[in-house]
Amino acid sequence: MMYSKNAVAIPPGATIREQLENRGMKQKEFALRMGLSEKHISRLINGQVELTQDVALRLESVLGVPASFWNNLEAIYREKLARIIAENELERDAELASAFPYSKMAALGWVEATRKAEEKALNLRRFFEVAKLDLLDRLRIPGIAYRKTGTNETSDYSLAAWAQKARIEARKYKTAPINISKLEQEIPRIREMTVKNPEEFCSKLTDLFAECGIALVFLPHIGGSFLHGASFYDGNHIVMGLTVRGKYADKFWFSLFHEMCHVIRGHISELSGTCEKQEEEADAFARDILIPPEQYKAFIKANCFTRDCIIEFASKIEIAPGIVLGRLQKENYVPYNRFNDLKVRYQITCKK
C-alpha cells in the first residue's frame, strides 16, 4: 500500500488476502491450487508483482471471482500507484525548486510566473527538459568553464539555469564544424572590434564565432550568480554565453577573451570543469590580449595616469580607453570614482 496527499493505492493482493481469510485457506494450500510458488503468492498478495491476465484466469478458477474483476482491480491499482509516485516526486521537486532563482527567471521570461511551488517545479522540469529535477545532478554539463566573481549557496543553481538558457538559445544558431585554429587566428580581428559599438560589431562577432563552430549567446545577468560568462560543448558545437545587461565594455571584452582561452586551451574538454589554475590562465590571456604586457609595463613606468594620458595610451594600442581605465582601477593605479565617463555600457540585443 502506498500513499500520497491525494490518493491511496491498495494492491489487488489485499482483496486476495480477504478471500483467503474468509475461506480459512492458508497461503501454502492456495499456492498449490494456483499452481504457483509460495514465494510468488506472497509477493502477489503484498503487491510486489503484477497481477497478470494468466493469474487473473487462475484466480477465477480457484476463488470463483471473474478474471475481469481481477484485471480491473490491477489496472486501478497500477494507475493509482503511478499517480502517487508522480505526486510524491512532484512534492520533492517542489522543495528542490525553492533553491533556483525562480522569480528572477520569471522576470526574464524564461519560465512562467507563479507562486505555487508545484507549478514552479513543473515549469522548471520543462525548462531543464527533465522528467524530474533530481536528474539534473546526473545531467550536469561536463567540462563547463565559467568566469565568476564570487560564490554563495545559490550561485550553482543560478549557473545551471543560466547555462540551460544559453543552451536553448544556441539552438537558433547555425554553426560550422568546430575549428579552434581558426578561432585563434581571428583574435586580432576580434580585438579590433573593442573600439566599436555593439550595433557595429554584434552581428559580425556572432557570425565570426559561428564560422568557428561556436554559438555566441548574449544573456542577461542573473543576480546572485556572480556570473560573467560560460563555455561548454553541446552536441556538435560549442556554446559560449556572456552576460551583457548593463555591463561595462571592459568587463564584456575581458569575459569574452577569458572564455576564448578556455576554448582554445581545451579547458572545456575536461569532465570535471575548470580549476583555479585554469581560471588564472584565462584571466592572464584576456588581460594580455587586450593590453600587450610590454606596452603596459612602459605605460605604468611612465607613471602618468591622467585622463589625457589614458586616452593617448589607449589610442596608441588601438583599444577603447575604458578598457585601459578598468585595468588601472583594478590594479589600484586609479581610484574607482575617477574618469568613469571613459567607460561605455553595452546593451546588446542582437538575435539570430
pLDDT tens digits, one per residue of 158-191: 888 888 999 999 999 999 999 999 999 999 999 9
- The greatest distance separating any two alpha carbons of the chain, rounded to the nearest whole angstrom, comes to 104
| Same domain for 296 and 228 | yes
| Same domain for 219 and 309 | yes
Of residues 43, 42, 41, 76, the one with CA closest to residue 62: 41
CA angle 157, 160, 164 (to 5 degrees): 145
Q: How many domains does the chain have?
A: 3
pLDDT at 349: 61
DSSP string covering 217-263, please? EEEPPPTTS-EEEEEEEETTEEEEEEE-TTEEHHHHHHHHHHHHHHH
Cα–Cα distance for residue pair 197/208, rounded to 1 Å: 16
Question: Rounded to 5 degrees, what are φ and ψ at 231?
Answer: -135, 140
| Same domain for 261 and 171 | yes
Examine residue 129 and state whether it is found in any structural domain, yes or no: yes
pLDDT at 275: 85
| Same domain for 195 and 110 | no
Q: pTM for the full model?
A: 0.76
| Same domain for 146 and 117 | no
Of residues 34, 37, 41, 53, the one with CA closest to residue 17: 41
| Same domain for 122 and 10 | no
| Same domain for 309 and 231 | yes
Examine residue 352 and state whether it is found in any structural domain, yes or no: no
Identify the DSSP state of 149: S
| Same domain for 242 and 146 | yes
Phi-psi region of 156 (alpha: psi -120 to 50; beta: other; left: phi over 0): alpha
| Same domain for 190 and 323 | yes
Low-confidence stretches of the chain (pLDDT beneath 70): 1, 3, 138-155, 223-227, 244-246, 272, 349-352
Determine the residue type at 26: K
Examine residue 351 and state whether it is found in any structural domain, yes or no: no
Cβ-based burial of 306 (10 A; exposed 0-12, middle 13-18, buried ≥19): exposed
Q: Which residue has the cell 539570430?
A: 352
pLDDT at 60: 97
Q: Point out the domain boundary residue: 25, 60, 94.
A: 94
Range of the domain at 36: 2-94
Q: What's the CATH number where 39 sits?
A: 1.10.260.40
Cα–Cα distance for residue pair 289/310, rounded to 1 Å: 18
Edge-to-edge strand order for the sheet containing 214-219? 145-148, 227-234, 237-243, 214-219
| Same domain for 179 and 127 | no
Question: Rounded to 5 degrees, what are φ and ψ at 237?
Answer: -140, 175
| Same domain for 83 and 214 | no
| Same domain for 271 and 317 | yes
